[in-house]
Structure formats: C-alpha cells, structure tokens
Chain A
Amino acid sequence: MARKVTTKRRITVTVIAWIIALLIFFPILWTFLTSFKTEGEAVATPPHFFFFHWTLENYLEVSERSDYVLYFFNSVVISVGSTIIGLIIAIPAAWAMAFVPGKRTKDVLMWMLSTKMLPPVGVLIPIYLIFKNTGLMDTRTGLVIVMTLINLPIIVWMLYTYFKEIPGEILEACRMDGATLKEEVLYILTPMAVPGIASTLLLNVILAWNEAFWTLNLTAANAAPLTAFIASYSSPEGLFYAKLSAASMMAIAPILILGWFSQKQLVRGLTFGAVK
C-alpha cells in the first residue's frame, strides 16, 4: 500500500528539492553560460546571468588554437582503448569465477580488489622510471596499459556481479535439450550477458576519462588527454574565463551525457556490488 502524501507537502518537498538540486548543479550551469560570453562579459560586475551577447567565439578559438582535437582524440583512445582491452581480459575471468566457482574464487576476487586499494603514489616512481627508460613516457600506448591495469579490478568485479545473476539452471536446461556449447554461448549466454557488459563498459570509460593522477604525471605534449589539457589553464595570462569555460564544457559534455545513462550501474560498480 502506497503511503498517501498531501499535495501541500508534495509541493513543499518539490520546491526544496529543486532549489538544492539547482544549487548543486549551478557551477556546471555557470560554466555553460560563461562559455558563450565574451571575455569582458565573463568577468562583468554584477554578473550577467542570461541577458548577454551569446557567442560561439570561445569554442572556435579553443578548438583552433590549442590542438583540442588531439587532446580529445587522446582521451577517447585512452578511455575506450583501456576499457576494451580490460573487457577482453576480464570477461573470461569473471565468467569462470561466476559459473565455475572454485574454493579460492572468493580469495582471488578479494585480492583483485585489494590491488585497487594501492595508492598510486606507492608505485609512482617505478612506473615513472620504467616509462622513461622504455620510451613509454608520453605515449598513448603507455597510458592505455596503465589505465587498463588500474581499472581491471573494477571491470572484473562488475562483470562478476552481473554474471552471477544469470541463473545456472537455464544452462542446465539447454544442455538437457541437447544444445551444443556453441549454441549455448551464442543464443543463451551472450544475450543475457550483454546488458551487464555494456554497463561495465560505460562506467569504465567514464572512470578512465576522468582519471587525473597518471594522465597528469605520465604525459606531456603528445599523449595528453583532456584532463591535462584543462590543467594547462591553471597558469593563465590575461582574461581567460570564457575560454576556460568553453574548454571545460568540451571536456565534460561527452561524459555528462554518458554518465546520466549509467546512474544505476554507478552504484553497483563503485561499491563492488556491496550496494545494489
């Protein structure tokens, strides 16, 4: 039985919720608005909220002047590349642990998780030196490797929790009906596993896109993704708010959109299945 809520109470709660939500969202909204202003208007006092001369100038300038395309390309290669390689390594592992669990499966899972707890500074120097001596420094390949490894535990865990939910009885029923292994994998397991794999992919692309320890420390001009590109605005000259805003919007927009699709998976992925 649903509990009755008076209309008056509902209105009050709605108003409060909207005010708080807009306050939390405001920095993003403000960045969005500023990105369409001229530099002069961006620092005007009192600030101009909606009634200003809207211009696309900043977006044009940022994309022309600062190799934005290269940074964007690097972000895509690093986040998507590391996710796909991670999935290729993790899918068989998670599969085996979910469907053929052994005595040590739980230990292996917990151990994988523990590697995620290792603070990056604990291995910063060796990775830095290895990268320097092997020519991996400032290369997309190097970053894809690091990003694959740091996110591999999360990928395995997420997939494991999804695969775990596929009922084993279905497989037995298929086998009884005489399905071959190939048919079993192709027609039964794959369709059931695709949603889980897709959400894992989505969440991992987001995490890799926003990662800002290794990307800042292991890249310079060639392989720097958007995180490092934005960091270059930390020591600016002259008026730059509008351009900073435009660059920021271009860096976060793809992930904001992807992120909104993956809200539900976020909880499962980031709590390693502890909260669903």
Chain B
Amino acid sequence: MATQHSRAAARLMISPAVILLLLWMIVPLAMTVYFSFLNYNLLMPGAHNFIGFENYKYFVTNPAFITALINTLVLVGGVLLITTVGGTLLALLLDQPVWGQGIVRILVIAPFFVMPTVSALVWKNMFMNPVNGLFGWIATSFGFAPFDFLSQAPLFSIILIVSWQWLPFATLILLTALQSLDSEQVEAAEMDGAGPFARFFHITVPHLSRAATVVILIQTIFLLSVFAEILVTTNGGPGNASTNLTYLVYAQSLLQFDVGGGSAGGIIAVILANIVAIFLMRMIGKNLDA
C-alpha cells in the first residue's frame, strides 16, 4: 500500500519532468499568442504595437494560406491512403510463412530509419531527376519522354517520398497487430464454413481497425509538420504548389521576418493539430484503462 510518505516521494520524482514540460509548452506558446497580436517585423525594429486580429486576417486572407491548407490536407490524406492501404497489404503478406522472413522484415523497415533530408535528396536527384534519375532512364528506355516530377507534380512527388518513409511504420504496426490475432478464432470460423473473404472482413478487419486508427492518428500528427522534405526538394514551389502550412509559417517568419504574421499562422497550425490530437488522446486514454 502506498503510504503518505511514498506519495510525497513520488510527487517529488515526477515534478522535474512536469515542470520542464510545462515550461516548454506554456512559455513559448504564450509568446506566440502574444506576438500574433503585434505588428512585429524583425526588419523594422522599434514599436511593436498591438493590432488585434489584423495578423490573423492578413494570414487567412492571403491566397497562399488557402493553397497551403489544401496542400496540407492533400499531403496528409495522400500519404495516409498510400501507407495504410499499402501497409495493410504488406502486413498481410508478411504474416504468411516466408523463407527469410527476418531479412524481408529488415528490408521493409529500413526506410523508416533514413533521415528525412537524405531520403528527400536521394529521391529528388537519383530517381526523380528527369535527366540523370532512374525514372527518367526507365521512361526513355520504354520510349516515353522523361517526366520532371518535382516541377510538374511537386506535391505528388513529395507525397511519394513521404509515403516511402512512413510505409514501414504502418506495416510494422499492422503486422504486430495481425500477429496478436487469435488463430483459434480463425480456425473456428473456417470450420464453420467461412471462406477466406468472410474471414478477412469479419475477423481480420475488425481486429486491425484499432491498430489502423492508431497508425492514422499518429502519422497525422507527424505529417501535419512535414518540413525538411519540402525544404530540400522544392522550397515550397513552384509558386506555392508544394507549400504546406508548416512551410508557410516558416517562410513567413524566418524568410520574411514577419513575427506577427508567422505567429498567427503558428497558432492556426496548433488549432488544426489539436483537432486531431483530441481523437488520438481519447484512443490512447481508453487503452490506459484497459
């Protein structure tokens, strides 16, 4: 039984972590909120006067904002679609008895450990480059004109690169979930005469749905903040064609030095992420009770 004494000790042990995270979360966030109401540009030193919601108005009515918002949703949605569908299929495949299963798993997981700047540059130059890239060579050897991925379909190309990085994550988690599927249940269904499709849709899919939800929510958190891949491949361009919200806020604040406008954008990004976070927290919280 926990005593009064051990409770106090426990509180003492928890407090450093809590205080640090509290500082990390509240101080900068409060500063961002504060800046977002100021007319504050690093290039114009001096008065930072209070301008109310002007920055928000400016940021939201900027045509780049709508583009960035749509790009963010397309990027997140596209990567989620590719990784969850692909990950489910791959997990089902890898759940079968395969010779050299250990090595196959290692090969499939590997892209997850590649740092974002490396994978983006390798794909950009060695695969998607129309002159020297492998895709260009494949296209020309079949008699097609090489396709300039990053200037003709920048967002799609970035979706491909990011999907390659996250497919292993989805696969690994769905595979872990599959392996915890009760084989007796499957056998019982088989004896009752359920065919492979019935077994898949009535046993496997419901079993996987929890893991799939976790995959979708966690990936969404990370995908809303895709940054390095855009920075080293397209710089958000051409125009704003591959600018997402994270990149737009970065450009507004650190390239145009507009602290006020950038802060307003940052707060909008926080609000968007929170909507997703609420669902994720509920899922994980439920698991904590179990």
A, B bound? yes
Chain A residues with CB under 8 Å of chain B are: 1, 3, 5, 10, 13-14, 16-18, 20-22, 24-25, 27-28, 30-31, 34, 43, 45-47, 89-90, 92-93, 95-97, 99-100, 102, 106, 108-110, 112-130, 149, 152-153, 156, 206, 209-210, 212-213, 216-217, 226-228, 230-231, 233-234, 241, 244-245, 248, 251-252, 255-256, 258-260, 263, 266-267, 270-276
B97 CB to nearest chain A CB (Å)? 5
Q: Pick the contact of B116: A14, A46, A100, A227 (CB < 8 A).
A: A227
Q: B115, A96: Cβ atoms under 8 Å? A: no
Look across to chain A and name the residue whose beta carbon is closest to the beta carbon of B17: A93
Which A residues are CB-close (under 8 A) to B228?
Answer: 212-213, 216, 227, 231
Q: Mark B269-282, 1 if CB is under 8 A from A, else 0.
A: 11011101100110
B69 CB to nearest chain A CB (Å)? 14
Q: B246, A121: Cβ atoms under 8 Å? A: yes
Q: A114, B121: Cβ atoms under 8 Å? A: no
Look across to chain A and name the residue whose beta carbon is closest to the beta carbon of B111: A24
Q: B284, A117: Cβ atoms under 8 Å? A: no
B27 CB to nearest chain A CB (Å)? 7
| Chain B interface residue bracket vs A | 35 or more
Q: A275, B232: Cβ atoms under 8 Å? A: no
CA distance A252 to B272 in the complex (A): 32
Excluding A114-B277, A274-B214, 16 further A-B contacts by CB distance (< 8 Å) are A10-B97, A21-B107, A25-B110, A90-B17, A100-B2, A110-B288, A115-B21, A118-B25, A122-B32, A123-B31, A125-B32, A130-B28, A252-B118, A259-B109, A263-B106, A273-B284
Q: B274, A117: Cβ atoms under 8 Å? A: yes
Which B residues are CB-close (under 8 A) to A5?
Answer: 96-97
CA distance A90 to B17 in the complex (A): 6
B153: CB under 8 A from chain A? no
Tell me the dominant secondary structure on chain B's binding face: helix
CA distance A120 to B253 in the complex (A): 13
Q: B100, A227: Cβ atoms under 8 Å? A: no
B50 CB to nearest chain A CB (Å)? 17
CA distance A213 to B226 in the complex (A): 9
CA distance A100 to B227 in the complex (A): 40
Which A residues are CB-close (under 8 A) to B100?
Answer: 14, 18
CA distance A153 to B21 in the complex (A): 8
Q: How many A-B residue pairs have CB under 8 A?
A: 308
Q: A93, B224: Cβ atoms under 8 Å? A: no
Q: Pick the contact of A212: B117, B140, B288 (CB < 8 A).
A: B117
- List 11 A-B pairs, Cβ < 8 Å: A17-B94, A21-B104, A47-B134, A100-B2, A117-B281, A121-B265, A152-B21, A244-B122, A252-B115, A263-B105, A273-B284
Q: Which B139-162 residues have C-beta < 8 A from chain A? A: 140-141
Which B residues are CB-close (under 8 A) to A89?
Answer: 16-17, 20
Chain B residues with CB under 8 Å of chain A are: 2, 6-7, 9-11, 13-14, 16-18, 20-21, 24-25, 27-29, 31-32, 35, 90, 93-94, 96-100, 103-119, 121-127, 132, 134, 137, 140-141, 164, 167-169, 172-173, 176-177, 180, 183, 187, 210-211, 214, 218, 221, 224-225, 227-228, 231-233, 245-246, 249-250, 253-254, 259, 262-263, 265-267, 269-270, 272-274, 276-277, 280-281, 283-285, 287-289
Q: B115, A209: Cβ atoms under 8 Å? A: yes
Q: B127, A27: Cβ atoms under 8 Å? A: yes
Which B residues are CB-close (under 8 A) to A216?
Answer: 117, 227-228, 231
B26 CB to nearest chain A CB (Å)? 10
Q: A28, B218: Cβ atoms under 8 Å? A: no
B222 CB to nearest chain A CB (Å)? 9
Q: Pick the contact of A234: B218, B233, B287 (CB < 8 A).
A: B233
Q: B118, A230: Cβ atoms under 8 Å? A: yes
CA distance A212 to B247 in the complex (A): 13
CA distance A217 to B31 in the complex (A): 18
CA distance A115 to B221 in the complex (A): 12
Q: B214, A271: Cβ atoms under 8 Å? A: yes
B108 CB to nearest chain A CB (Å)? 5
